[in-house]
Amino acid sequence: MTIRFMQGNEACAEGALVAGCNFFAGYPITPSTSIAEILARKLPERGGKFIQMEDELASIAAVIGASIGGAKALTATSGPGFSLMQEHIGYAAMAEVPCVIVDVQRLGPSTGQPTSPSQGDVMQARWGTHGDHPIIVLTASSVCEAFNMTVMAFNFSEMYRTPVILLLDEVIGHLREKVDLPEPGNVEVWNRVKSNVPPEWYFPYEDASAVVPPMANFGEGYRYHITGLFHDRAGFPTERLDEINPWLERVFNKIAFNEESICLYKEEWTSGARDVVVAYGATARSARHAVKIARAKRHNVGLLTLQTLWPFPAGVVSRIARNCRHIIVPEMNRGQLVLEVERVVGAAKVRAVNRADGEMLTPQQILDAIEQK
């Protein structure tokens, strides 16, 4: 165990290295730039590749290409750059290319306030690219979690052959805390399952017993077709429904069948709680302080901190809501994840606490919602 005093962005970069990241392509943008700066220095020292691209669209394209070549690939950006990446995120989902996209959220829309925090990209992370597609979106509420969730993002990406988005925010990205970093050998790292058949027998999207087909890397003797169109098991475009529908089912099922292990969260004081605060990211820090104050005043209130936002952990939210009076959902936006909570438990049980002016939600604002009659 190594004790470090570090920023959230620094922890993210360190987590990427421990997870085996060996390729980064990106473009500087506040408040994510320090991730790129750290990896620009450290990746070449370890035999990895760092490329500053001409823009964010080119960055995610380079990440996809590197992953197809066998790299564990990462890009990091903030709101405006995240918007530019959406088309290629959809391409990676369609082509089932593992990659990790870190979005350190800032106040928007448009240029907004580059140095102010926000949680305004939650719905964009889920629905930003067009069409029906599965996606995994993680988040972090501490510097230590920024490290752990980055490792988990790479593991999920490789495990399920899918792009994974890590939503940080300016507060977590620039926050400094003491972190107990595990030794690299003590961190579970998942690598993609490779093909065990010769190239002439390989089908990149084989719909057999495996929900996630093995992935052969270009440059290792395998050449196959990759397209953003609906494709058959060999990767070639198809309009046959008997090929499109099984592919759709498989791609959604590889996430749906594993939601229990993908949906990460922390529960505190929720057993028997009359009210429960559901929070994520930097807002969870204010929420935890508010809950501790409320409990000291003998309010029976608990806290659910979400680490996975998508797929939405409907099961745990439903279970907690079944026996409580109110669910309080604080967010640094005008109301995004609260819509999912309302969908699961009904709007009558939910109290939204929103702030979208570039300032943190305070514990007092959340405490007021807990104490509301």
Do residues 5 and 177 lie in contact, with contact meaning Cβ atoms separated by under 8 Å? yes
What is the DSSP code string of 126-165? HHSSSSS---EEEE-SSHHHHHHHHHHHHHHHHHHTSEEE
If pLDDT is split at 50, 70 and 90, which confidence band does 142 have?
A: very high
Return d(Cα 153, Cα 259) in angstroms, integer: 14
Query: Given a cut of 70, is residue 208 above it in pLDDT?
Result: no
SS3 117: coil
pLDDT at 228 over 80: yes
Identify the three-state secondary structure at position 273. Answer: coil
For the chain, give the percent of residues with pLDDT over 90.
Answer: 95
Res 1: pLDDT: 77
Eight-state DSSP code of residue 192: P
Residue 265 confidence (pLDDT): 98
Residue 33 has pLDDT above 70, yes or no: yes
Question: Which pLDDT score, from 0 to 100, does residue 351 have?
Answer: 97
Give me the mean pLDDT over the 326-332 stretch: 98
Classify each residue of 134-173 as buried b or exposed e, where b means 16 or more C-beta atoms within 10 Å of its C-beta.
Answer: bbbbbbbbbbbbbbbbbbbbbbbbbbbbbbbbbbbbbbbb
- Exposed e or buried b per residue across 91-114, where buried means at least 16 C-beta atoms within 10 angstroms of its C-beta: bbbbbbbbbbbbbbbbbbeeebee
For tokens 């988990």, what's the residue?
152
| pLDDT tens digits along 34-58 | 999 999 999 999 999 999 999 999 9
Question: Structural domains in the chain?
Answer: 2-186 (3.40.50.970), 266-371 (3.40.50.920)
Mean pLDDT, rounded, of the chain = 96
What local confidence, expressed as pLDDT, does residue 112 receive?
Answer: 95
Mean pLDDT, to the nearest integer, of 341-363?
Answer: 96
pTM of the model: 0.97
Share of the chain above pLDDT 70, in %: 99
Share of the chain residues as helix, strand and coil, in percent rounded to the nearest 5: 40, 20, 40
Average of pLDDT values for 77-101? 98
| Banded model confidence at residue 160, pLDDT cuts 50, 70, 90 | very high
Q: How do residues 250-272 score in pLDDT, each as one tens digit?
A: 999 999 999 999 999 999 999 99
Q: Distance between CA atoms of 350 and 347, rounded to whole angstroms? A: 5
For strands 275-280 and 163-169, give the pairing: unpaired
| Residue 172 to residue 188: CA distance in whole angstroms | 23
